Structure 1
């Protein structure tokens, strides 16, 4: 199992600040002479780092538990090391604001207040003495910060929902486009092919009776065949091609915008026909849309590889799975799209939690088709 140290989407904004904060904390605590001794101080630092790590990766009850543990360690440091370490409560105040439950956020805010008042009580201080009056604004900031972070995360979530709505609108447009193409094929190409069939039957009857008339009919058939080919090219040129690579990159940005980390593992994939890429891209889009809307996941893995002349695409998340989600049209849409290119789509619960979507497609050719031929 591969363990990750720090969320990729937070590296630019938080990594440098967190590293500097941890280094200073280790320096301050390990050089302090407390009743716990060096090894006791080191153990408390390890508990702090463990709580911080869990808080980075989870948004459920584990985030609340790790934040409470972190506030407890900071309280001990504030009593036995120095008051200024209470500044480190800002780290967990930021994390608890990212919790999905308002109740968890409320409990975290109460824990922040208790942290300050316990330190004040144990050190026989007063919030109105100079040493505590300096920390009073920091306490207020830590009490307000989870609420501000929650509002910010909620705004990001609404942005993601707007992206999903736009995708749904795009799907409706595509459905209308497919219906338009079907009408065009029926009204134009269907009529032309019917005329070719009738003239071919007539030519077969005339070929022995009137060769001159048969030749005229063959010329008409040739003209109609060219017209049919032209009509096919017009219809195909109007179809929207969705490259697989482009869809994966767009999906990565979309997942990041709603706070879900998308990890892409891609093997050596051959060049696929345009129609195949479009069907796979739409299926991946549908699966990831379901992850965003229903899974409550924090991580999602997209794996693409070719095994025994079969393209395998797996989409795995660490969410709540299928048990608590009502099935809709999304799964059926994936199956229908894969059926068009002789593929299959299977959606199951993962043994470790979450949902596993498996798309399978036999690879018959590696060359890309020419849509106009």
Structure 2
């Protein structure tokens, strides 16, 4: 009852315990009072301060009764031990109470900090939606209203306006993807480094050459490429039996390309598995492509390519 309840039942159980300890201390051994520490610890976990105070009072009465009943047989050495024991037991519930209160406050503080972090994240997402998607949707609304007016006045201009609306819609879709990707962002450089360590731990010597480090990719592009590199590395570990791997990043003819070459047994009789299909799907989303070249003598080569967006070309 004392363990399961922290209300009046705990106090009642403690009082009963003090009564039993009193009887045992008087008729068996006075040092049975040491079991009072058990109930002193439980009392400190009570929810009500009045219950704790009442329990301490009951504990003091227990010691008083035992001392009065055993005064004649109580040796000097025993009294020197029992008095400190009594003081410690009387203070122990208060100490436990403050320890428990400190733990509860720490848990509440952790919960509050978690809520603050979540609130800040919500505000960031709301701000991003307002600054990006909201502006783009406003442009679509204005363009649509203008097109509606031009249908009767200037039908020849309607096609151009519709093309502008289509382009703006694609921009909005891209912004949505980037916002979602920001929430699940995977760094390409971090993933390349991780894959290099993973391959080398499997005794596959790996080299990485980035020939265009100044290219800045969008978060969705970087995440998609990083996931494809991860998939290619997983396939290599599972099937290639390779000893060497070379990864190169190039920027040619407005294409950002990652080439992953191993010297394993190739893809013969394996076909395109789910991993390769997923790489193709990810590259297709970015208007890019994933190519797979295999040869039983030279190994497998995975080529991931996406178009370089305007303003992101490497300096000449």
What is the TM-score normalised by the length of structure 1? 0.43
Residue of structure 2 in register with 1:78 after alignment: 25
Residue of structure 2 in register with 1:159 after alignment: 106
Whole-Å Cα distance in 2 between the matches of residues 221 and 238 of structure 1? 26
- Which residue, out of 143, 149, 152, partners 2:90? 143
Deviates more, 1:152-161 or 1:67-76: 152-161
> Cα distance, 1:90 vs. partner?
0.6
Residue of structure 2 in register with 1:233 after alignment: 177
Counterpart mapping for 1:24-43 below 5 A: none
Residue of structure 2 in register with 1:117 after alignment: 64
CA gap of 1:114–1:156, structure 2 versus 1, over 3 A, is same
> Cα distance, 1:96 vs. partner?
0.5
Secondary structure of residue in 1 paired with 2:2:
helix
Q: In the TM superposition, what whole-angstrom CA distance separates every residue of 1:318-369 from its partner, at most 9, and x where no partner exists? A: xxxxxxxxxxxxxxxxxxxxxxxxxxxxxxxxxxxxxxxxxxxxxxxxxxxx
Counterpart mapping for 1:1-80 below 5 A: 54-80=1-27
Residue of structure 2 in register with 1:107 after alignment: 54
Secondary structure of residue in 2 paired with 1:55:
coil
CA gap of 1:232–1:203, structure 2 versus 1, over 3 A, is farther
Whole-Å Cα distance in 2 between the matches of residues 126 and 143 of structure 1? 24
Which of structures 1 and 2 has the bigger CA Rg? 2
Secondary structure of residue in 2 paired with 1:114:
helix
Is the 1:78–1:84 Cα contact (8 Å) retained in structure 2? yes
Residue of structure 2 in register with 1:170 after alignment: 117
Is the 1:184–1:235 Cα contact (8 Å) retained in structure 2? no
CA gap of 1:214–1:147, structure 2 versus 1, over 3 A, is closer
What is the TM-score normalised by the length of structure 2? 0.50
> Cα distance, 1:168 vs. partner?
4.1
Is the 2:143–2:161 Cα contact (8 Å) retained in structure 1? no
Q: What is the aligned-residue RMSD (CA, Å)?
A: 3.4
| 2:46 aligned with 1:94 | no
CA gap of 1:67–1:145, structure 2 versus 1, over 3 A, is same
Deviates more, 1:214-223 or 1:80-89: 214-223
Whole-Å Cα distance in 2 between the matches of residues 200 and 239 of structure 1? 36
CA gap of 1:147–1:127, structure 2 versus 1, over 3 A, is farther
> Cα distance, 1:195 vs. partner?
4.7
- Structure 2 gap ranges (5+): 186-281, 287-316
> Cα distance, 1:183 vs. partner?
2.0
